[in-house]
Amino acid sequence: MSGGTAPKSAATVEVTHVHGERITVRAAATGVDLFSYVYLPDPVAFEARKPYVHPLRTLTGRLVSGYRPSDHRWHKGLQMTASHLSGQNFWGGHSYVHGKGYLGLHELIGSMRHDGFDAIDVCADELSFTERLTWVENGGAEWARERRGVRVHAVDPGTGSYAVDWSIRLTNVREDGEALRFGSPTTAGREMAGYTGLQWRGPRDFTGGRVFGPETEGELMGTQGPWLAFTGEHDDVDGHSTLMFAHAPGNAHAIHASHWFVRAEPIPTVAFSWAFFEEFALDAGESFEYRYRVVVADGAWDREQVATRLKGLAW
């Protein structure tokens, strides 16, 4: 395989690591590349250089992530973001300034630098890795150290689904001793635009898809809940896919309560927003942790199917 190592075979997955670029998980039975974690630095600094997952596909090969769409070039599959962080933008693209709207302030765009992997493990039916990253503000100062964990597992042809777990431990390492203040466009003055945190951008054909939670459907922007599901219908093929977004139980006791940032129109997107309505501060030397799960499934799942599948997956 050009530029990389030979695939590592397992019972249900094959893993290929193209060193310095990406890690890809393939379904052994079907040959479908399910998940590609890209850590090669982006060429465009304005898009906030950072690792991301794209493409993300179902077990039958249906694409369920969007990459650099024309409306937001900095949206890249599944990625960790921070739209408002002590005056910097680690989301990418235009920055919201109260009273002025969205401005192309290149000097505010930060980045998340890949520093290396502490571990990459392939077991019988899963991939897991631990990555070290540094969050760097636009002037070059190192503001935070991140320890990121990603796990691809629970590949289940019977239900047509698999799971991606994502954890973050972030530590404030600012040399000036200042706190890191996490916010969003809503904390800066724009109503119901609390995007920040782990974000998924769906493919354009998911626009107008169905969004629902354990007890509610449709208008879930700014709400809270243990999980949220998004079902979209694909172009070209006759079929739907469903993504499930779930909090680990420990997130209820995290540094700050999370809310859902979710839209089906005009774009399909979901974020685990950790600072939707209120800012929170991380003091120098202090850390916070969150853990998330994204389940990718073929088909238009209903509320009972989603709840059953999520309940059956241990943390």
For Cα atoms 163, 127, 296, give the angle at the middle one, nearest 5 degrees.
20
Residue type, 68: R
Q: What is the pLDDT of residue 100?
A: 97
pLDDT of residue 1: 39
Q: In what order do the strands lie in the sheet with 227-233?
A: 111-122, 127-136, 142-156, 161-172, 287-298, 240-247, 227-233, 210-212
Q: Report phi then psi at 240, rounded to 5.
A: -120, 165
Residue 6 pLDDT = 44
Q: What local confidence, expressed as pLDDT, does residue 259 receive?
A: 98
Cα–Cα distances in angstroms (integers) from residue 234 to residues 28, 249, 298, in the given order = 24, 32, 11
pLDDT at position 10 is 47
Among the listed residues 288, 293, 295, the one whose alpha carbon sits nearest the alpha carbon of residue 315: 293
Q: Can you give the pLDDT of all 315 residues of the chain as single tens digits?
A: 344 554 444 479 999 999 999 999 999 989 999 999 999 999 999 999 999 999 999 999 999 999 999 999 999 999 999 999 999 999 999 999 999 999 999 999 999 999 999 999 999 899 999 999 999 999 999 999 999 999 999 999 999 999 999 999 999 999 999 999 999 999 999 999 999 999 999 999 999 999 999 999 998 999 999 999 999 999 999 999 999 999 999 999 999 999 999 999 999 999 999 999 999 999 999 999 999 999 999 999 999 999 999 999 999
Q: What is the DSSP string of 185-202?
A: TTTTT-TT----EEEEE-
Q: What is the pLDDT of residue 11?
A: 72
Beta bridge partners of 130: 119, 149
Omega of the bond leading into 266 within 30 degrees of 0 (cis): yes
In DSSP notation, 40-107 reads SPPS-GGG----EEEEEB-TT--B---BS-TT-TT-BSEEEE-SEETTBBSS-SPEEETTTEEE--GG
User: Residue 124 has what pLDDT?
Assistant: 80
- Structural contact between residues 28 and 14, judged by C-beta atoms closer than 8 angstroms: yes
Q: How far apart, in whole angstroms, are the C-alpha atoms of residue 30 and residue 57?
A: 12
Global pTM? 0.95
